[in-house]
Chain A
């Protein structure tokens, strides 16, 4: 599968990081892309957990993805199953949950498992950008 990151970056203006947005709703992915590309990130999209796993495994170097922004309630492989897979296969990739599903128990459990943040929609863009910046910072610490 060809990856086509959104956002134009060059040597003078390198991207701040690569974010894989996983959400079954196209408009949610569009909003995340608009927000994150404006903030300086490259964005890759996947419409569900299964596609996200395909995207990660199809890339020549899956570690180019720094952060996964993941929904929970999705068809096929849901967010919880997908996150488990990401954390097992790509432990250094940072995960942020962005969901319409305000579940305190799930949030606590996922935060304990090491996700960076559990954002409940509607999420203001400043909050999303701050969470992604924090995730990229943690990713850098992981790699160093």
Chain B
């Protein structure tokens, strides 16, 4: 959600919304006391403009118009284009400072470094979760392989057409099941990049995330209740949203010790796409509630949790201008409410 500009906030205008500008916008929107008044780029498809739109930050192709805003304290020029500094100088208010040239390049490099570190961390967290899945993955693959081999062995020398038909059908169905699992793992293990955005159906992502969670434990004793109200598609990187919901669902299942009810719901609430993930576990202790999103905080035993899951979840949700909030009381389960702004609403 875009913070309103105020007398206390540091109001910034960004010129240039390429990869560097995009990382800069993501970082600044996470900083308290900073308000990004607008982002300008001559390329209307620049990735930073999409990030700005998630946060309801005005975007424009008209640099002169944006830099003329008299409530701007600082203009950051990350274009590297020699024609931009004189343009800014001509149109800006005398009180507005400009960060450009070598200083902007330095900031750009530092932010790139931070961005790469975060991406590395997010990927490491995914791989670590895959490590937890290893036994489950082996089980989920070896079972269908066993059945395929079994039916194939029984087909050898079989002459009854009905039996041949039945066994062949089983083999084909299992091969498809294996293929679906491979696709799910591939979606999860991919590294996230902002350029890979597409129209994502949130209920589908939730269903895929439940399938992934089944690698971590047996879900037979978890009743999955789906209350999917109609929601619009979300323009996002599917792999990142998948990571968000796989993490939240695995946490919910682990909190219930794989026994209980997992309720997944989607709805539109006041211009927000809202997802609720509710478990019937013991709830989060009040002293832990404030710390659960902090990096390296975990209540899981050593080797089970990295303490990065919820930190990454919140970072991804924030990137899309969204919010995440745990609602929990000891003894009465936990609900995670995730909300994303709906493009064009509000």
Residues of A within 8 A of B (CB): 24-25, 27-28, 31-32, 34-35, 73-76, 99-103, 120-125
User: Which residues of chain A have C-beta atoms less than 8 A from B174's C-beta?
Assistant: 27
CA distance A31 to B171 in the complex (A): 12
At the interface, yes or no: B103 with Cβ under 8 Å from chain A?
Answer: no
Q: Are B138 and A101 in contact (CB under 8 A)?
A: yes
What's the minimum C-beta distance from B261 to chain A, rounded to whole angstroms? 15
Q: Are B140 and A25 in contact (CB under 8 A)?
A: no
Residues of B within 8 A of A (CB): 135-136, 138-143, 145-151, 153-154, 170, 174, 218, 220-221
Interface centre among A27, A34, A75, A124 (most CB of B within 10 A): A27
Q: Please name the residue on chain A nearest to B137 by beta carbon.
A: A100
Q: Are B150 and A31 in contact (CB under 8 A)?
A: yes
Q: Are A34 and B154 in contact (CB under 8 A)?
A: yes
Q: Please name the residue on chain B nearest to A102 by beta carbon.
A: B138
Q: Given contact pairs A31-B154, A75-B221, A121-B142, enumerate 20 new A-B contacts (beta carbons under 8 Å).
A: A25-B143, A27-B151, A28-B143, A28-B147, A31-B146, A31-B151, A34-B150, A35-B153, A35-B154, A73-B218, A75-B220, A102-B138, A102-B142, A120-B142, A121-B143, A122-B142, A122-B146, A122-B149, A123-B149, A125-B153
Known: A27-B170, A31-B154. A124 touches B139 (CB 8 A): no
Q: Are A124 and B149 in contact (CB under 8 A)?
A: yes
CA distance A102 to B143 in the complex (A): 12
Q: Are A100 and B147 in contact (CB under 8 A)?
A: no
* Contacting residue for A101 out of B135, B147, B150, B154, CB 8 A: B135
* Contacting residue for B220 out of A24, A32, A99, CB 8 A: A24
What's the minimum C-beta distance from A40 to chain B, rounded to whole angstroms? 16
Q: Are B153 and A124 in contact (CB under 8 A)?
A: yes
Q: Are B139 and A100 in contact (CB under 8 A)?
A: yes
User: Which residues of chain A have C-beta atoms less than 8 A from B151's C-beta?
Assistant: 27, 31
Interface centre among B139, B141, B148 (most CB of A within 10 A): B139
What's the minimum C-beta distance from B28 to chain A, rounded to whole angstroms? 47
User: Which residues of chain B have C-beta atoms less than 8 A from A76's C-beta?
Assistant: 220-221
User: Which residues of chain B have C-beta atoms less than 8 A from A122's C-beta?
Assistant: 142, 145-146, 148-150
